[in-house]
Structure 1
């Protein structure tokens, strides 16, 4: 919550603190984020092994960020939905299913990007 007595800089620092806390909560409590971070680490290791270009690094990290953001937003929608209506409800289920679709789209696009980056490099080795 915004404190009206905070200066601009103090308010920004508080925002960063809340953002880092949110990231930590996601990493420590959400299995989907843990799984995506595992794949991000694997992709990063592969990037070093295959000496990908600066452009490929940028695209790879944007792809990783896309997946993590989609997972985080999906988690937020699920938590809000459970808070609003803790029992099963058809409309809440529909909302949660749609929210779960966004990280799926992001993951599919990330796999396509990984294929574009790494398949030609693997074919050169074979």
Structure 2
């Protein structure tokens, strides 16, 4: 029993290590994280329903999961290829297309929820009447830009 619990805890440690590596090394993963942060923020301010929140969480999970798999495929391909290889290029492009499809679906779902259901307008109205909170959100933008473009460069 103890051995199976230890193996389970080790598998979680490996998963968190992989997540940490992706956050540190992959700009596109940080883009997805930042987008999810702002969608959650505006969703809270705009009053998304629990069902809409669940759908958005599924979208985040699918897109970020696809990005993690894409990164793993790219790293394996780079390790195997010594120079240009058309099949490796195709595999990497197909994996990237998988992320694109997930992200495009996420944008479509977001548009339906935020524009179709008026959540974006409600969030803007909420922030307009609480300017201090709106300014706090604006202040996070340069931090988010730094996170996306410079976080992984810290040694």
TM over 0.5: yes
> How many matched pairs?
121
Summarize the alignment of residues 17-32 of structure 1 with structure 2, pairs less than 5 Å apart: 17-32=13-28
After superposition, what is the alpha-carbon deviation per residue over 1:38-91, rounded to whole angstroms, capped at 9, x for unaligned?
A: 101010101111110000010001101111001110111100000000311111
Q: TM-score w.r.t. structure 2 length?
A: 0.74
The residue number in structure 2 matching 1:11 is 7
State the shift of 1:123 in Å: 6.0
Structure 1, unaligned runs of 5 or more: 1-5
Quick one: distance in 1 between partners of 2:36 and 2:121? 22
The residue number in structure 1 matching 2:144 is none
Q: TM-score w.r.t. structure 1 length?
A: 0.90
Q: Report the CA distance shift for 1:86/1:43 in structure 2 as closer, same or farther (over 3 A).
A: farther
Q: RMSD across aligned C-alpha pairs, in angstroms?
A: 1.7
1:39 to 30, 35, 38: 35
Greater RCO, CA 8 A, separation 6+: 2
Structure 2, unaligned runs of 5 or more: 126-155
Quick one: distance in 1 between partners of 2:86 and 2:96? 15
The residue number in structure 2 matching 1:117 is 113
